[in-house]
Chains A and B, each alone.
Chain A
Amino acid sequence: MVEDITSLVTGLGFPSIEAFLAVMLLVIAVFGAIVVISLLRPVLGMFPYTYPNARVRARIGRIFDEKQFQEIIEAGNIEEVKNYLRGFPDYAKYIDQYPLEKALDTQLAENYDLVARITPDNSKDAFRFLLKKWDIRNIKSIIIAKEAGLNSKETLDLVVPYGDLTDKLDALVDADDINEILNTLEGTEYAPILEDAIPLYQETGILLPLEASLDKYLLKNLLRTVSTPEDDNTSYLKTYVGNMVDGANLKIILRAKVDGLKYEDIEPYMISEGYQIREWKLKDLMESEDVAGVISGLEGTEYAPLLAEAMANYNDTGSISAFEIALDNNVVETAKKISLKNQFGIGPMIGFLSRKEKEIKNLKIIVRSKREKGFTPAMIKEMLI
């Protein structure tokens, strides 16, 4: 037996059994290294997301389900809604601290802040930039409040204590007029945007250009943070942000067509680096005669079927809210798809933020309905998104 093995080994060209074993061990070592490296790569990609995803999934578990929403809808008045929310630690900490709607927005902002803090480095820039939406929301609220003549206390009730401007919020809230707001924002990235947009707002009294300028700044730069995906996770993030950008562009175009605005009126507010709808297509859409022209111009894109469906509603009501809802739902659906496809990466975080946004929007719808008289639970349920 031993002789047989020896002759076999020498027949293969090895001078001795030891040499043969040495080569064999080397082969095993190389094979082992290949196995380990090929296994490690996907696992190391997953590893940074395990901690944030567990935290986020814990919060997904606390998002209100249909039964809980039904209970809130059936609350007799605002105070009962507040009492219900006090039963949930996520909301309880803000309910007695702020007015109800500010408490809801603050809870949402807290979640954005958490995701920006715990997300892995390759997606941190995008989520950190997304936090600026609270700056933009606060600036808009403060400008509107000042124009409406609200005092500091009333203005403070409208701002959310998150974003990059938290240290300037007190000064902004105390500002007497828009010029003082501009002075306070001097040196921030928002000053040049407002310097261009505020004169037009003051001249026309229309808030749309101001809002659109700030939104454009946010989305344009947000898209820039995800423009070169490094891996699947950042690629999914780009898809999500891209859908938000396309949605914002389409909303502006559709609103402009309803108001009969021309290409040159809306062009400054478009995010030309659209995602699926690129610059040339945006130009075509902006040059469309009417809403129907915009919808037919979208033929071949994923937006055509969903907006065509909303078209019937628009024809009945003359309101573009059906389009806006369809586009918002598309972003929610995109987030849902990403969260299912990419469970070990960025998916749960995108899915969570989208679901949390929806929860807060629905809670605000309920709160506003409870403030008004005449809304039955069935009517409120109908209004939820």
Chain B
Amino acid sequence: MVEVALGTALAAIGAGLAVGFAGLGSGLGQGIAAAGSVGAVAEDEDMFARGIIFTALPETQAIYGFLIAILLMVFTIMANKALPASLGLVAIGAGAAIGFAGLGSGMGQGITASSSVGAVVENEDMFARGIIFTALPETQAIYGFLIAILLMVFGGILG
């Protein structure tokens, strides 16, 4: 059995938190947006492209989580060095930051996207405003992403 240092194991949990929770939020959000888009396309075929745009927006949270998880894995688990427990905790902090921020942001964005799809299919002129409203919940994911990067840089993982 391969011996894994405690810090490395903690970093693995951090990577899992990052991609797991961010992916959960993104998946739920995208599911809600997609369900709304399918309904809109069923009524108006011209809504396909716009439906895809709104459905794609909650994807970003999963990308942020995925990126943080990859960085954590590359600089900790795949670096083939025994990581101290303190760095492992930093990794958990980074993973939790983007994970939870991505969860809330993804779900919020999905609900807004679905609502925007409804608004656009009702009135085409709502497209630009719908995109702006849907983009707003992105900020929470960006905060989480930035904090995760800063934690990794100043916590010594990316240093």
- Measured CB to CB, the residues of A under 8 A from B are 5, 17-18, 21, 25, 28, 32, 35-36, 39-40, 43, 46-47, 50-55, 57-61, 118, 343-344, 348
Q: Which residues in B have their C-beta under 8 angstroms from that of A17?
A: 6, 85
CB <8 Å contact, B85 and A21 = yes
CB <8 Å contact, A46 and B32 = yes
CB <8 Å contact, A52 and B85 = no
23 A-B pairs with CB atoms under 8 Å apart are: A18-B6, A25-B92, A32-B17, A32-B100, A35-B100, A35-B103, A40-B28, A43-B111, A47-B35, A50-B32, A50-B39, A50-B114, A51-B38, A54-B39, A54-B40, A54-B43, A54-B117, A54-B121, A57-B40, A57-B122, A58-B44, A58-B121, A61-B122
CB <8 Å contact, B6 and A57 = no
User: B107 near A: Cβ within 8 Å?
Assistant: yes
User: B10 near A: Cβ within 8 Å?
Assistant: yes
Cβ-closest chain B residue relative to A57: B118
Q: Which residues in B have their C-beta under 8 angstroms from that of A60?
A: 122
How many angstroms between the C-alpha atoms of A50 and B55 in the bound complex?
13
How many angstroms between the C-alpha atoms of A39 and B21 in the bound complex?
12
Query: Number of B residues contacting the other chain (C-beta, 8 Å)?
Result: 38
Q: Which 9 A-B pairs have the closest CB atoms?
A: A54-B39, A58-B43, A61-B122, A57-B118, A50-B35, A58-B121, A51-B39, A55-B39, A54-B36
How many angstroms between the C-alpha atoms of A36 and B111 in the bound complex?
16
Q: Which residues in B have their C-beta under 8 angstroms from that of A47?
A: 31-32, 35
Main secondary structure of the interface of B (DSSP, over half): helix
How many angstroms between the C-alpha atoms of A46 and B36 in the bound complex?
11
Query: A65 to chain B: closest CB distance in Å?
Result: 10
Task: Specify which of B24, B42, B96 is in contact with A55 (CB 8 Å cutoff).
Answer: B42
How many angstroms between the C-alpha atoms of A244 and B47 in the bound complex?
35
CB <8 Å contact, B85 and A55 = no
How many angstroms between the C-alpha atoms of A44 and B114 in the bound complex?
14
Q: Which residues in A have their C-beta under 8 angstroms from that of B86?
A: 5
Task: Specify which of B6, B32, B38, B118 is in contact with A43 (CB 8 Å cutoff).
Answer: B32
Q: Which residues in A have their C-beta under 8 angstroms from that of B38?
A: 51, 54
A53-B118, A57-B121, A60-B122 are known; give 18 further A-B pairs, CB within 8 A.
Answer: A5-B86, A18-B6, A21-B10, A25-B92, A28-B96, A32-B21, A35-B103, A36-B21, A36-B24, A39-B107, A52-B39, A54-B36, A54-B39, A54-B40, A54-B117, A58-B39, A58-B122, A348-B118
Known: A21-B6, A35-B103, A344-B111. A54 touches B118 (CB 8 A): yes
Known: A21-B6, A32-B21, A61-B122. A55 touches B40 (CB 8 A): yes
CB <8 Å contact, A39 and B104 = yes
User: B80 near A: Cβ within 8 Å?
Assistant: no
Query: B145 to chain A: closest CB distance in Å?
Result: 18
The number of residue pairs between A and B whose CB atoms lie closer than 8 Å in the complex comes to 86
CB <8 Å contact, B121 and A61 = yes
How many angstroms between the C-alpha atoms of A61 and B125 in the bound complex?
11
How many angstroms between the C-alpha atoms of A348 and B119 in the bound complex?
11
How many angstroms between the C-alpha atoms of A84 and B43 in the bound complex?
21
How many angstroms between the C-alpha atoms of A17 and B10 in the bound complex?
13
Cβ-closest chain B residue relative to A53: B118
How many angstroms between the C-alpha atoms of A40 and B32 in the bound complex?
12
How many angstroms between the C-alpha atoms of A357 and B37 in the bound complex?
26
How many angstroms between the C-alpha atoms of A40 and B28 in the bound complex?
9
CB <8 Å contact, A43 and B39 = no
User: B13 near A: Cβ within 8 Å?
Assistant: yes
Q: Which residues in A have their C-beta under 8 angstroms from that of B100?
A: 32, 35
CB <8 Å contact, B13 and A25 = yes
Cβ-closest chain A residue relative to B88: A21
Among B33, B36, B119, max chain A CB count under 10 A is at B36
Among A50, A51, A60, max chain B CB count under 10 A is at A50
In the complex, per-residue mask of B1-36: 1 if CB is within 8 Å of any chain A CB, else 0: 000001000100100010001001000100111011
Query: A311 to chain B: closest CB distance in Å?
Result: 38
How many angstroms between the C-alpha atoms of A118 and B118 in the bound complex?
15
Q: Which residues in B have their C-beta under 8 angstroms from that of A54?
A: 35-40, 43, 114, 117-118, 121
Cβ-closest chain A residue relative to B29: A43
CB <8 Å contact, A28 and B92 = yes
Cβ-closest chain B residue relative to A17: B85
Q: Which residues in B have their C-beta under 8 angstroms from that of A21?
A: 6, 10, 85, 89
User: B60 near A: Cβ within 8 Å?
Assistant: no
How many angstroms between the C-alpha atoms of A49 and B119 in the bound complex?
15
Known: A25-B13, A54-B114, A344-B115. A59 touches B43 (CB 8 A): yes
Among B31, B37, B89, B122, max chain A CB count under 10 A is at B122
Known: A28-B92, A43-B28. A58 touches B40 (CB 8 A): yes
Query: B115 to chain A: closest CB distance in Å?
Result: 7
Cβ-closest chain B residue relative to A60: B122
CB <8 Å contact, B85 and A51 = no
Query: A380 to chain B: closest CB distance in Å?
Result: 27
Q: Which residues in B have their C-beta under 8 angstroms from that of A5?
A: 86
Q: Which residues in B have their C-beta under 8 angstroms from that of A43?
A: 28, 32, 107, 111
